[in-house]
Amino acid sequence: MKHRIDARFALAARENRAALVTFVTAGDPDHETSLEIVRALPGAGADVIELGMPFTDPMADGPAIQAAGLRALAAGETLVKTLDLVRAFRERDQDTPIVLMGYYNPIYVHGVERFLYEAKEAGADGMIVVDLPPEEDEELCLPALQSGLAFIRLATPTTDDKRLPAVLKNTAGFVYYVSVAGTTGAATPDFNVVGGAVDRLKRHTDLPVAVGFGVKTPEHAAAIAAYADGVVVGSAIVDAVAKSLDADGRATNKTVSAVTALVSALAAGVRRGRAAA
């Protein structure tokens, strides 16, 4: 079965470029503005949208994304509303892949079977659930694959060749390589090491490899795009949202444009990277 994710990475490959994968938190700074942002991302150059499902204890996320989740929760965002956001996005865009990213607890509380049905029905294409290791694949990964949703796994600098087959076994869509040890946005990756890491992963899988964590600028994106099939940017985009808000943390008339301006610059950087490689 072909997914929108497969089609989008194939398109990027035909155009001899990496795909730009953008992360935003659903409901940040409020549900309506968040929907505007998500709807604007493809036009700004985003190939794939990772949509964060806000959670009170996001252990893999750095301060920027933690703050975004708290803003979203304070504004009333819920898992149901996040799925509604996907549904509303699909009313206007049937092509851009959406990957739901978050933690298992809210899915478990919602009910796995119910969540998978509603996510697929809403128009999601896959998910990244960072706190479920391969040993727990029967909990969510295998049911997700059976539902037609890609389950995207993270590989890290500490994932050695012995561990890698287990990580990749049921992965679909793409492999997300975490280029730095630590939380999101915490450090800048060593670009000299990324190429070798991507090559190592490609010896074990035919899936596209997207690289993220610490990618903040168009120059960073260009450096990653020289090696990877995809470049993932999250904290920098979430920061752009935060810096556009008023003193009370509410959206302004600059919020959406702050995000689209950054994403457009990142998309240009991604294209430069492959051309320069």
Per-residue model confidence (pLDDT) at position 188: 66
Please give the residue range of the domain that contains residue 179.
4-276
Per-residue model confidence (pLDDT) at position 61: 80
Residue range 243-267, pLDDT digits in tens: 999 999 999 999 999 999 999 999 9
Per-residue model confidence (pLDDT) at position 90: 98
95 catalytically annotated:
no
Please list the residues that pair with 102 across neighbouring strands.
Answer: 129
Give the rounded distance of the alpha carbon of 112 from its chain centre: 21
Look at residue 59 and tell me whether its pLDDT is greater than 70: yes
Listed in sequence order, the residues at least 6 apart from 221 whose beta carbon sits closer than 8 Å to its beta carbon are 20, 215, 231, 233, 266, 269, 270, 273
Candidate list 47, 50, 77, 137, residue with the active-site label: 50
Per-residue model confidence (pLDDT) at position 207: 97
Per-residue model confidence (pLDDT) at position 262: 98
Sheet holding 150-151, edge to edge: 150-151, 126-129, 98-102, 48-52, 19-25, 230-233, 209-212, 175-178, 154-155
Higher pLDDT, 80 or 157: 80
- This prediction has a pTM of 0.95
Residue range 136-150, pLDDT digits in tens: 999 999 999 999 999
Please list the residues that pair with 25 across neighbouring strands.
Answer: 52
- 182-208 average pLDDT score: 80
- 86-100 average pLDDT score: 98
- 42-48 average pLDDT score: 98
Phi, psi of 112 (to 5 degrees): -60, -50
Residue range 165-185, pLDDT digits in tens: 999 999 999 999 998 765 454
- 54-71 average pLDDT score: 89
* Region class of 99: left (phi > 0), else alpha (psi between -120 and 50), else beta: beta
Per-residue model confidence (pLDDT) at position 277: 54
Distances (CA, A) of 91 to 24, 35, 41, 198: 19, 12, 15, 36
Provide the pLDDT confidence category of residue 1 given band limits of 50, 70 and 90.
Answer: very low
Distance (Å, rounded) from C-alpha 242 to C-alpha 211? 24
Q: Which two tokens stand for residue 208?
A: 């596209």
Candidate list 6, 61, 137, 229, residue with the active-site label: 61
Provide the pLDDT confidence category of residue 60 given band limits of 50, 70 and 90.
Answer: confident
Look at residue 195 and tell me whether its pLDDT is greater than 80: yes
30 catalytically annotated:
no
- 197-215 average pLDDT score: 94
Per-residue model confidence (pLDDT) at position 2: 56
**Which percentage of the chain shows pLDDT scores above 70?**
95
**Which percentage of the chain shows pLDDT scores above 90?**
84
Return the CATH number at 188: 3.20.20.70
Provide the pLDDT confidence category of residue 190 given band limits of 50, 70 and 90.
Answer: confident
Please count the structural domains in the chain. Answer: 1
Provide the pLDDT confidence category of residue 214 given band limits of 50, 70 and 90.
Answer: confident
